[in-house]
Amino acid sequence: MEREASRDRRRRRPERAPKAAVPYVTRRIPYYAFLDEEALTHIERQAFRLLQETGLEFREAPAALARWKNRGAEVRDTRVRIPEGLVRELLASAPAEFTQRARNPAHSVRIGGSAQVFAPVYGPPFVRDLKGGRRYGTLEDFHRLVKLTQRLDPLHHSGFVTCEPCDVPVSKRHLDMLLAHMTLTDKPHLGAITARSRAEDSIEMARLLHGAAVLESECVIMANVNTNSPLLVDKVVTDAAEVYCGAGQGLIVVPFILSGAMGPVTTAAAIAQALAEAMAVGAYTQLVRPGAPFILGNFLSSMNLRSGAPTFGMPEPLMSNLAIGQLARRLKLPLRCGGALTASKLPDAQAAYESADSMLSTVLGGAHFVLHAAGWLEGGLVTGYEKLVLDADRLGAYAVMLQGFPTDDDAVGRGAYADVEPGGHFLGSSHTLAHYTTAFYEAALSDSNSVEQWEELGSKDAAQRAFDRWQRLLAEYEPPPIDPAVRDSLEDYVARRKAELPDAWY
Amino acid sequence: MEREASRDRRRRRPERAPKAAVPYVTRRIPYYAFLDEEALTHIERQAFRLLQETGLEFREAPAALARWKNRGAEVRDTRVRIPEGLVRELLASAPAEFTQRARNPAHSVRIGGSAQVFAPVYGPPFVRDLKGGRRYGTLEDFHRLVKLTQRLDPLHHSGFVTCEPCDVPVSKRHLDMLLAHMTLTDKPHLGAITARSRAEDSIEMARLLHGAAVLESECVIMANVNTNSPLLVDKVVTDAAEVYCGAGQGLIVVPFILSGAMGPVTTAAAIAQALAEAMAVGAYTQLVRPGAPFILGNFLSSMNLRSGAPTFGMPEPLMSNLAIGQLARRLKLPLRCGGALTASKLPDAQAAYESADSMLSTVLGGAHFVLHAAGWLEGGLVTGYEKLVLDADRLGAYAVMLQGFPTDDDAVGRGAYADVEPGGHFLGSSHTLAHYTTAFYEAALSDSNSVEQWEELGSKDAAQRAFDRWQRLLAEYEPPPIDPAVRDSLEDYVARRKAELPDAWY
């Protein structure tokens, strides 16, 4: 409590005003030029070569094939070959930056440019916490995770499938998830994609929440889709593009490539393929509706050569995070990549090393929208409650880092030695008093006590402290206000659709 | 065993030849221009202003005062004010790069330029391991830690006080530590500093090990000293400069600044003060002997504002790591900074998050010599056995990252799609077969097994696996060969000096 209150006070301090002014991070440090011009050009050329010479398969998507053909791409059966000029021309109409409006405008996020947005893990069927162990996620878990995301300031966005609510039929799950994101939090969120009708339900409910007119001019919901690497685009993707972008809403397109399986084993080639696939679908979003918000995504994973299992936090994907940022900026497109990724089963040292290195490279690389920024465990199979709050604490540190530090006369300490002699100390000096309240990030979960104090408090490791913290955050949770009429309309919609739909578990 | 053997095989693969060819890391990725020219100039100007206007205290060091006076610095009592031109002139004679020769030349390391050298933690009075808990370090611990460092390939340097052997009188401790570094490992190491005679013992024993003639022309031993921030240099530092540099050996000068206590609370000011102090002592090493190897160091820590306790892995020191690298390169001096730092008591998630962020920023920042790169726990009070091997595993990952990745036609996958169709897979493709053995870093301690396999192996967290690993590494340890006559001469020296010295515990 005291910690929380203190952090709130800190937020309001004037010196870090740019952070307090917007509900996301504004990057003020330069980008890292990891690859040189020649290397970037090689990768880009290979991406365009793939689109032009090999082409992509668009399967079960006759409307997409027709659109490509009309626009001059070479379409043979389901294979689409797209000239570089056409891809670039189409992508040019995608906005370099846009706003995703939240139902609470104070939580609307900017996507692209110098804005950086963090969202929780997406997709795990399992959850794990220190007391309950590893188990299938339920709707109760889902609700708790949405509430925790609402309470964690370093998470700017609610994501979508923070865990799968496995106790709800697959055919109805998306309705419960949408209702939770629309009522239990007032941060922005994503929508469903797994069937065209579920995408349509997402847009319908967004219309109820925001008003139909708003959707015509503003992005209020986005969907995240994966290509079927290598070079295959299925109906889920084209349907999502048609439903979301058709309604002027956003699409994040993310090739998921386990290098050596769904893409070549070399880092540069995996990046090139991911770039090609994301550009192709991005171009398709602009065929559906020019100007539709589009986020260029990718998710590259390395492999354990002994078992073929995906590995995370390894140097090859870390380098990819840095390189992909450069490629996205050349295309002037918002980027999604990286996250706090790990193969670890537990919120232990492995999880933290891998997540930190993944995430710091993601942040330095300049990803604008970071899904999986908190809560990811076990290669994405598990949402960790402790991991969620531990990761969020580090996101707060990255947010500070992204703002850099001042180097004016006062900041370099020109006047700091007026009342401090060599061999003295700065503990009560005027310069220290003027700056100490804003000098340092205050982590909620990093223990800097003496070993004696730490033992007195129960010798708890970080995971145990994280358990205490999420329990407390949940106990203190209060739902954000919502217009009862809007809430009723959403609940009515969900009830009606649930009555219409059969229970199906696939 | 299988893992170790496999890593050895991997080392010998041709594609990563630059790594195999030298016993340290050769950086091939660009530096990150974190601060712009204006910011760097502001910080430098403040550093020179401190040296020129405020000056440094050189206490109990009449020889140093005399040397400064002779060279034209303004000396009043013990205060020395040094003009920018003189500092720059003196520092210009310090080598931008040099080699520290190891007794096994295959382990000699290059310091500066594109070489990056990792060394273990320095200084903890305590050790901790999973079974033995937290306790004072002993000579047996010290021997085990030196042996482990010898076995861990990602550590290129043996450091010095890997833990304090607290069961040996302080007056004799340095002799046992030197003997261990000279016989149990054949990697390079540092020497003692805590008293002039101990520094002299270090040089004498180095002469016995390497031959007196070698010391005249090569650096075989270095010492690491801290200034007494703010702006105070004591006898330990000037003695070490006179003994080590006087013998043509190396000195690492490291202001340790807890921002807000031993230096100003703002990041830029703490960096400026550290730069001033390190430049002043660096300049002094060149007064003692022009051309003496000198490493510009610094160690900046943030503070818990509630308790005043030092914190680690926080955004302010991470940014410092990036900025200081730029400042050192402008001075064309080798740099020591950063490390795998944490305030955590245990090798848990806190330790790993903080260590990873500290270390990745250190590596990207371009520190040439990284002390504390493995094994640091509890703000430097404790050497962790598990932490040592866990950190070392991540150093291997950073080493790969520092080499970047190729982007030639083959690497970008120009020929990779000849035998793979869209929707297919690359598991047995010719491109994959040609590259997979060198494609990915193979971590020793990251578990990527399925949860079922992991449970079958005992559901061990990273710390437990690390415990198993250091036990195995120690069991398999074999001392590197040494000329028995040299060994005898070292043992005789230690025996003689121990007989001469009283047992003293301070």
The predicted-structure confidence for A427-443, as pLDDT tens digits, reads as follows 999 999 999 898 999 99
Helix intervals (H) in A50-158: 62-70, 84-91, 139-151
Q: What is the pLDDT of residues A324-365, one digit of tens each?
A: 999 999 999 999 999 999 999 999 999 999 999 999 999 999
pLDDT bucket at A11, cuts 50 / 70 / 90: very low
CA A462 to chain centre: 24
Mean pLDDT of chain B: 95
Query: Distance from first CA to last CA of chain A, Å, rounded?
Result: 43
Q: Is A30 touching B (CB cutoff 8 A)? A: yes
Q: Which residues pair with B204 in a beta bridge?
A: none
> What pairing do the DSSP bridges indicate for beta strands B25-26 and A294-297?
unpaired
Lowest-pLDDT choice from A10-24, A203-217, B155-169: A10-24
Question: What is residue B306's predicted lDDT score, i.e. its pLDDT?
Answer: 85
> What is the spatial distance between Cα B341 and Cα B256, in angstroms, rounded to a whole number?
14
Question: What is residue B5's predicted lDDT score, i.e. its pLDDT?
Answer: 39
> What is the spatial distance between Cα B373 and Cα B157, in angstroms, rounded to a whole number?
10
Q: Is B378 touching A (CB cutoff 8 A)? A: yes
CA B437 to chain centre: 30
Inter-chain CB pairs, A–B, below 8 Å: 399
**Shortest alpha-carbon distance between residue B246 and chain A (Å):** 27
Residues 187-246 of B with CB under 8 A from A: 228, 230-232
Q: Is A70 touching B (CB cutoff 8 A)? A: no
pLDDT bucket at B305, cuts 50 / 70 / 90: confident
> What is the spatial distance between Cα B93 and Cα B287, in angstroms, rounded to a whole number?
10
**Sign (positive or negative) of CA dihedral B342, B441, B453, A300:** positive
**Shortest alpha-carbon distance between residue A282 and chain B (Å):** 18
B16, B265, B452: which to substitute to probe chain A, counting the most A Cβ within 10 Å? Answer: B265
Q: Which of residues B373 and A438 earns the better pLDDT score?
A: B373
CB contact under 8 Å between B350 and A406, yes or no, is no
Residues from chain B contacting residue A32 (CB–CB below 8 Å) = 32-33, 364
Residues 467-486 of B with CB under 8 A from A: none
Question: What is residue A506's predicted lDDT score, i.e. its pLDDT?
Answer: 81
CA B310 to chain centre: 20
Question: What is residue A261's predicted lDDT score, i.e. its pLDDT?
Answer: 95
Nearest to A346 among B404, B429, B461 (CB): B461
Q: What is the pLDDT of residues B152-164, one digit of tens each?
A: 999 999 999 999 9
Residue of A nearest to B45 (CA): A412
**B118-130 mean pLDDT:** 98
Q: Is B415 touching A (CB cutoff 8 A)? A: no
Residue A469 has pLDDT above 60, yes or no: yes
**Sign (positive or negative) of CA dihedral B272, B273, B274, B277:** positive
Mean pLDDT of chain A: 95
Nearest to B343 among A302, A306, A448 (CB): A448
pLDDT bucket at A15, cuts 50 / 70 / 90: very low
The three-point CA angle A449-A450-A455 to 5° equals 90
Question: What is residue B22's predicted lDDT score, i.e. its pLDDT?
Answer: 83
Dump the DSSP string for B386-406. HHHHHHHHHHHHHHHHTT---
pLDDT bucket at A2, cuts 50 / 70 / 90: very low
Amino acid sitting at position A92? A
> What is the spatial distance between Cα B155 and Cα B157, in angstroms, rounded to a whole number?
6
Question: What is residue B4's predicted lDDT score, i.e. its pLDDT?
Answer: 40
CB contact under 8 Å between A46 and B414, yes or no, is yes
pLDDT bucket at B2, cuts 50 / 70 / 90: very low
Question: What is residue A305's predicted lDDT score, i.e. its pLDDT?
Answer: 83
Q: Quick check: A467 and B348 in contact, CB under 8 A?
A: no
Residue A479 has pLDDT above 80, yes or no: yes
Q: Quick check: B174 and B182 in contact, CB under 8 A?
A: no
Residue of A nearest to B32 (CA): A32
Question: What is residue B196's predicted lDDT score, i.e. its pLDDT?
Answer: 97
Looking up tokens 């440090």 gives A29
pLDDT bucket at B506, cuts 50 / 70 / 90: confident
Going edge to edge, which strands form the sheet with B256-258? B256-258, B299-303, B310-311
**To the nearest whole percent, how much of chain A has pLDDT over 70?**
96
Residue A8 has pLDDT above 60, yes or no: no
> What is the spatial distance between Cα B457 and Cα A80, in angstroms, rounded to a whole number?
48
pLDDT bucket at B1, cuts 50 / 70 / 90: very low
Rounded to 5 degrees, φ, ψ at B89 are -65, -45
Residues from chain A contacting residue B39 (CB–CB below 8 Å) = 407
Residue A42 has pLDDT above 60, yes or no: yes
Residue of A nearest to B267 (CA): A405
**To the nearest whole percent, how much of chain B has pLDDT over 90?**
94
> What is the spatial distance between Cα B174 and Cα B206, in angstroms, rounded to a whole number?
13
**pTM: predicted TM-score of the whole model, two decimal places:** 0.95
CB contact under 8 Å between A461 and B349, yes or no, is yes
**A276-296 mean pLDDT:** 98
CB contact under 8 Å between A266 and B451, yes or no, is no
Residue A38 has pLDDT above 70, yes or no: yes
Q: Is A150 touching B (CB cutoff 8 A)? A: no
Q: How distant, in Å, are the alpha carbons of A182, A428, A480, B151 from that of A140?
A: 16, 50, 18, 49
CB contact under 8 Å between B413 and A273, yes or no, is yes
> What is the spatial distance between Cα A246 and Cα B173, in angstroms, rounded to a whole number?
75
Looking up tokens 């150093």 gives B395
Q: Is B295 touching A (CB cutoff 8 A)? A: no
Residues from chain B contacting residue A466 (CB–CB below 8 Å) = 349
Residue B18 has pLDDT above 80, yes or no: no
Question: What is residue A9's predicted lDDT score, i.e. its pLDDT?
Answer: 38
Amino acid sitting at position A189? H
Residue A494 has pLDDT above 60, yes or no: yes
Residue A117 has pLDDT above 70, yes or no: yes
pLDDT bucket at A444, cuts 50 / 70 / 90: very high
CB contact under 8 Å between B305 and A437, yes or no, is yes
Dump the DSSP string for A288-353. HSTT--EEEE-EEEEE-TTT--EE-S-HHHHHHHHHHHHHHHHHT--EE---S----SSSSHHHHH
CB contact under 8 Å between B407 and A39, yes or no, is yes
Q: How distant, in Å, are the alpha carbons of A404, A482, B199 from that of A159?
A: 27, 19, 59
Residue A309 has pLDDT above 60, yes or no: yes
Residue of B nearest to A303 (CA): B440
Q: What is the pLDDT of residues A129-172, one digit of tens each?
A: 999 999 999 999 999 999 999 999 999 999 999 999 999 999 99
Residue of B nearest to A29 (CA): B34
SS3 A76: strand
> What is the spatial distance between Cα A260 and Cα B396, in angstroms, rounded to a whole number?
21
Residue B17 has pLDDT above 90, yes or no: no
Q: Is A125 touching B (CB cutoff 8 A)? A: no
Q: How distant, in Å, are the alpha carbons of A108, A160, A245 from that of A97?
A: 13, 21, 16
**Shortest alpha-carbon distance between residue B101 and chain A (Å):** 30
Q: Is A404 touching B (CB cutoff 8 A)? A: yes
Q: Token pair for residue B106?
A: 């295959």
Looking up tokens 């022009």 gives B290
> How many CA atoms, within 13 angstroms, populate the side-chain half-sphere of residue A94?
34
